[in-house]
Amino acid sequence: MRFWIVILAAYVCSAVSATPSTEVAIAAKESVTSDGSRMVLIPSGPFVMGSNLGAAEETPPHSVEIPTFYIDAEEVTVEQYARYIAATGAAAPADWAEGKPPAGRDKLPMTNLTWLDAMRYAAWAGKRLPTEAEWEKAARGTDGRLFPWGNVDDPARRNLDSEKLRPVGQFPTGASPFGCLDMSGNAWEWTADWFEGYPGTSARSPHFGQQYKVIRGGGGVYLYGVPNTGTCTQRARLVPYGAHDFVGFRCVKDLPGQSPPYDPIAVIAEAEKRLDTSLRPPRKLSFETEFDKLKESRRIPITIVGVPRQKGLVRTGFPLPEGMFCNPKMIQLLDSSRNPASLQVKILSQWPDGSIRWLLAEYDANAGETRTLEINNSEVTETNVSTTETIDPAKILASWFKPWPVTNIKVKPLPGPLCSVWEGDKDQVLFKETDLLMKVQTESGSEQWQSLQDENHRITPSANMLKDEQGGTLVDSDHKPTGFHYTLQTELMREGPQMRMCLTVTHAVARKQPYETPNPVVKVKDIRWVFRPAGEITAVRFGSESGVVDVPVDSEVVLDQPDELHYTIERPGQKPIEGTRSPGWLGVQANGRWTKFGLRHFWQNCPKQLFVSKDNFGVRLWAGKEPFEWEGGLAKTHEVVLEMSLDKPETMHLDPLRAVIPPAWVCGTKAAGALMPRTPESLESLPYWEARRQIDMQQFVNGMPFGFRDFGDGYMGGPYKGKNAYMDLEYDIPWNFLMQFLRTGDVWYLNQAEVMVRHQADIDTENAAGFQWKHSPQHTTTQAELGHVFIRGLLLHYLLTGEIRSLETAEKIGKWIAGQLERGEGLGNERQIGWSLYALSGLYEVTGNPEILEAATTACNRLIEGQSPTGKFKIRWDNRIAFFNGIAMNGMLTVQQLSGDNTLAEAIDRVANRTLGMYPEYACRTLNAFSWILGRKPDGRYLDAMERSWISSMEFLHDRDSVAEETHAWMFPAFAARYGLFPVFEEPPKAMPEVASWKAIRFVNPAAEMYLKVEWNVSAPILLIREGLAQGKITIDDLRGKSLVEKTFANDRRMFEADSLLLSGPGIYRLRCESRDAYAWQVQWDGRCKLTVVDPRHTQLASLLPRAYGCLRPGIKEVKIRFEVMGEGFHRAALYDSMGRIVSTVQKFVDFEDVGRYEVQLTAPVSGEPNVWSLELYKLKVLFAEGFMPYWSIDAQDIFIPERE
């Protein structure tokens, strides 16, 4: 360091000395310096800097006066830099051998060096880096031209986007007015200045300030996120400690006796100061303390979640910390009275030391009760835990048939998709027959029915459960096998009233190429699952939104749900009964017994039908007017529930009971990785991100498409993914939902993820060949390469529910990935590296299959062998994108954590070092890797890069969906909270909302108004966050208009500015958030306060998620809401009454490139007293809402009318 201070000091002295000893005069306008550079003179005088034709940061054009200076006519070459290294002993670039560059590079521009390196070279040569203004004047002259040669681009004059560097000076016709070469293209070039806004600019950027140094000139390769225009005014940015393959430099020199525009010593010290940082000592987080207490007590509470009075089977994936125990008989389940309860367990996954990582606990329970899983120090001698023991299934069936005086229960398997048939004293059969039938249209146009041929059937009874696994082939009328297979899994708990059956039908014939044209395809006209009870059906009732509908059984009655907007119950000779979205169940009475039959997610998987006649009932799984074109490899899973009762059914619970384990335990075990639950620290550290995760996932679900093929996916479309393309759950969205379930304990996330996972297993997977599809209009026309393989959601769903199909699908895809890697195929870019390794490491964690880890490590070793010292991989597409590198690093580090390979860790370090020289990525992809590196070694560069990446990601995502952006960042929130990184509060907050009742609204508007009601004598905390680079203020008044609080948000250079307030109760307060330019306001609160939004013009309704609850006006007879529809994709709304029953829906799909404006409307009659209704919106602008008062909330319990208080 002292050596460089001497060099720099010598430069400063030489800048003001009388005679430059190193200069040899050639001509008045040129000179040659000791480093061999030819320099040209740039005369003093004004010039116009900036442009109105480029990016916002190039504005406004403004006049700048600059003294005379010399600038290198060409970029500094490799040959020149080698002489500098030989003379000074400075560190050579990583890919140079013994301080010498690779052969053939001498005349290329010197690149892959940091701004600090360039500054030190310049000082050694008696020069400095140009300021931005000096660089631009040398490039464009004084006439304001766009390019060095004029105003019209000419590819023959520059090296732009060629993906390679050229020797300097190869484009003489591209010279600037002063004779400078390669100022458009070849290497981007470092300048001395920080990336700041120009004087008088209206541009706003979170990147302005002392964060990045400006680079200029465009290059042989573009910098991701920056258009490579090659104009004289284009600006780009890079951190001063980063080096890039296509970023070089040229130097300038001041005239003798002329003071330089900056002091290089001070400027370097200024840049190095940003790196002179270290992590503060880590703090123990509150959830870790809670976990320690639970672990010490060895008793973990489990809360059962469902609708009131629901009873049935609970399947709980239970995580455990490494090393806790290996024997499942060391646990027992305690009921609410702390008495041992019956429990079935299965080991799902193990830690490397053989201890249990995840186990599946299955038991009967009631909604609302709390069970306790007790972990003993040794095997329990008297236990109700069952692992492999079996008993007579009749005992389970006898318990299930408690409502009837039935004895002598027997099990009698019958052909067809039902686990068993039960008999009593009088040989009374519950079901005479069940069958799954499929009608297909043959090539000749005729119709043919196909039925089941049972090939394997296994009944597995245990102490408290009966499981039946069945599979077979559909056969044609000649009993010849078709290409369709089925599997059926049935479960019946001893004490549970329900039987759950999961049926998967697969067209098990591999697809043929080209995949763009689905082949083979079978045209399916009908799939029906038929149940024939032992006696005649004497009574029928259908479930509806408003209760039940009783219908006579003189002939067949059909409930038809052709789409997600309406259904009809067709009765011969009578007027149809109409509704919107059927709950999908019916009840039939035969032999004095009621059987309830329901299909979960009935209307969402439309078209569907329920049917019933005197001798049978069932469901049409495909009931479309046109045949469904079922291509090879496609599957479809349906979940059916049967329930027996002596009483008339009034409702049916189709969603299963769920169990919630304390998030502190779940995250503390690290069984799902370094996950941080929602805690006081998460709300204090990254409160805006906590809200975004929840709100964006709610919005995503509101926009989820429906239909037999599409339900469970998301719509993508747009110019990049293909016209009208679906997502195929890109970036493992279900995994993010499941991780959110683990960290919050909110079962909503699990329920939503489950339909995504089943869609992924059925539709997005080629089930015959074992590979995945990626985004396309039909889901199945574009094969996913290794950059689009996502199986962690499937695996985590298996760990949480025990659903074996999720594991089998993940294993099938994993085997395909492993085969690709073993053959050395598919790793063409960094994204393909990362996603494939991330998938295999997750699969190995669950299965422990050594072949999977071997495939992953083999791929890593192959990559390391071809990796250059600079971190570059020997792959087909070197994208030089931090986004891609982040994915690659995350995949590699998950393998390294399993293998402990130090060589792999060093390879990741090289990739990370290379990533520092790339544009900070925009989607949180580098955050896991940077957290991992900083946890291993202190390095201020990575701490600064982490902050730059976080800010860039937040900037990119502020108006985009963030549901998939934490796939490679789940490690980061805990890391940030533990080390107190990137605080959003200027001072420690006075108080924060409580986690248990936390709520949030993100108003995507520059202003919002609301009333807050504190009912009790408590202090209620309110957290306010301004989003966007803007100033703003909040004011709080009482109901009389007296001002109580006024707070200004003045820092318009920060993306987020936050403050917390305490409201004393009881009382009602009026809160206004105001700004001219803010993008959004976030308001967060808890159960100590109620929040009602004031919205007379209905501009905030789209921000109220998952629904907007509003008060009806007194005396109204009809509600009418009109919407504006614009933009590609699905636009929809649903209106619910005060009982939560849907009363009206509307949907409009806008095609790609359709720029039209449309209007749609919801109407519904109103009867009785006015009350609270709710509105669910997706991508709709409310034009007017007749019948509602101007008060809205996200919770029916929160809404109140201020003037009535």
CATH number of residue 301's parent domain:
2.60.40
Question: By C-alpha distance, which of 590, 565, 558 is closest to 579?
Answer: 565
- At 721 the three-state DSSP class reads helix
Question: Which of 337, 372, 387 is a domain's end point?
Answer: 387
Q: Are residues 859 and 793 in the same domain?
A: no
Question: How much of the chain is helix, strand and coil, in % rounded to 5?
Answer: 25, 30, 45
Residue 305 lies in a domain: yes
Amino acid at 978: R
Instruction: Please say whether the beta carbons of 729 and 755 come within 8 A.
Output: no
pLDDT class of 5 with cuts at 50, 70, 90: very low
Please give the Cα distance from 62 to 751 (Å, whole number).
Answer: 57
Residue 597 lies in a domain: yes
Alpha helices in 966-1045 (DSSP H): 972-979
Expressed in angstroms, the distance from the first to the final Cα of the chain is 71
Please tell me the predicted confidence (pLDDT) of residue 21.
Answer: 35
Global confidence as pTM: 0.94
Please give the Cα distance from 20 to 33 (Å, whole number).
Answer: 10
Residue 197 lies in a domain: yes
Please give the Cα distance from 429 to 415 (Å, whole number).
Answer: 14
Burial (Cβ within 10 Å: 0-12, 13-18, ≥19) of residue 274: middle
Q: Please report, for the domain that includes residue 266, its CATH number.
A: 3.90.1580.10
Residue 904 lies in a domain: yes
Query: Taking residues 1058-1071, what's their average pLDDT?
Result: 95
Q: Are residues 425 and 458 in the same domain?
A: yes
Please tell me the predicted confidence (pLDDT) of residue 12.
Answer: 46
Query: Taking residues 1102-1117, what's their average pLDDT?
Result: 95
The answer on pLDDT for 422 being more than 90 is no
Please tell me the predicted confidence (pLDDT) of residue 490.
Answer: 86
Please tell me the predicted confidence (pLDDT) of residue 402.
Answer: 42
Residue 939 lies in a domain: no
The answer to which of 24-33, 318-327, 1002-1011 has the lowest mean pLDDT is 24-33
Query: Taking residues 1151-1162, what's their average pLDDT?
Result: 94
Amino acid at 587: G
pLDDT class of 420 with cuts at 50, 70, 90: very low
Q: Which residue is associated with the tokens 């201890």?
A: 355
Q: Are residues 383 and 416 in the same domain?
A: no
Q: Are residues 75 and 176 in the same domain?
A: yes
Query: Taking residues 900-916, what's their average pLDDT?
Result: 97
Please tell me the predicted confidence (pLDDT) of residue 573.
Answer: 80
The answer on pLDDT for 342 being more than 80 is yes
The answer on pLDDT for 362 being more than 90 is yes
The answer on pLDDT for 1045 being more than 80 is yes
Reading the block at residue 916, the tokens are 């520092």
The answer to which of 386-395, 457-466, 495-504 has the lowest mean pLDDT is 386-395
Q: Which residue is associated with the tokens 């004497």?
A: 538
pLDDT class of 38 with cuts at 50, 70, 90: very high
Question: Which of 916, 947, 974 is a domain's end point?
Answer: 916
Pairing of strands 658-660, 299-305: antiparallel
Q: Are residues 907 and 784 in the same domain?
A: no
Q: Are residues 305 and 194 in the same domain?
A: no
What is the average pLDDT score of the chain? 90
Which of 460-464, 823-827, 1082-1086 has the largest mean confidence? 1082-1086
Q: Are residues 331 and 406 in the same domain?
A: no
* More confident call, 342 vs 168: 168
Helices (H) and strands (E) in the chain, counts: 22, 58
Please tell me the predicted confidence (pLDDT) of residue 535.
Answer: 86
User: Prior bond to 497 cis, omega within 30?
Assistant: no
* More confident call, 154 vs 919: 154
The answer to which of 181-185, 324-328, 573-577 has the lowest mean pLDDT is 573-577
Query: Taking residues 388-410, what's their average pLDDT?
Result: 43
Residue 426 lies in a domain: yes
The answer on pLDDT for 957 being more than 60 is yes
Please tell me the predicted confidence (pLDDT) of residue 381.
Answer: 59
Please give the Cα distance from 134 to 67 (Å, whole number).
Answer: 9
Please tell me the predicted confidence (pLDDT) of residue 409.
Answer: 37
Burial (Cβ within 10 Å: 0-12, 13-18, ≥19) of residue 1095: buried
Residue 957 lies in a domain: no
Task: Count the domains in the chain.
Answer: 6
* Residue % of the chain over a pLDDT of 70: 92
Q: Are residues 296 and 267 in the same domain?
A: no
Residue 505 lies in a domain: yes
Q: Is the dihedral of CA 156, 160, 165, 167 positive or negative?
A: positive
Q: Are residues 47 and 165 in the same domain?
A: yes
Please tell me the predicted confidence (pLDDT) of residue 448.
Answer: 79
Q: Are residues 420 and 466 in the same domain?
A: yes
776-826: pLDDT as tens digits: 899 999 999 999 999 999 999 999 999 999 999 999 999 999 999 999 999
Q: Are residues 839 and 741 in the same domain?
A: no
Please give the Cα distance from 481 to 458 (Å, whole number).
Answer: 21
Question: Which of 654, 681, 701 is a domain's end point?
Answer: 654
The answer to which of 23-32, 554-563, 828-837 has the lowest mean pLDDT is 23-32
Q: Are residues 635 and 780 in the same domain?
A: no
Reading the block at residue 625, the tokens are 């007017």
Q: How many CB atoms lie within 10 A of CB 1031?
A: 17
Burial (Cβ within 10 Å: 0-12, 13-18, ≥19) of residue 690: buried
Please give the Cα distance from 191 to 477 (Å, whole number).
Answer: 79
Q: Is the dihedral of CA 660, 662, 665, 671 positive or negative?
A: positive
Please give the Cα distance from 524 to 526 (Å, whole number).
Answer: 6
Please tell me the predicted confidence (pLDDT) of residue 463.
Answer: 61
Question: By C-alpha distance, which of 1004, 1184, 991, 1202 is closest to 1091?
Answer: 1202
* More confident call, 395 vs 985: 985
Please give the Cα distance from 692 to 984 (Å, whole number).
Answer: 15
DSSP string, 502-554: EEEEEE-S---S-TTS--SEEEEEEEEEEEEESS-EEEEEEEETTEEEEE--S
Residue 1149's domain spans which residues?
A: 1096-1205
Please tell me the predicted confidence (pLDDT) of residue 444.
Answer: 75
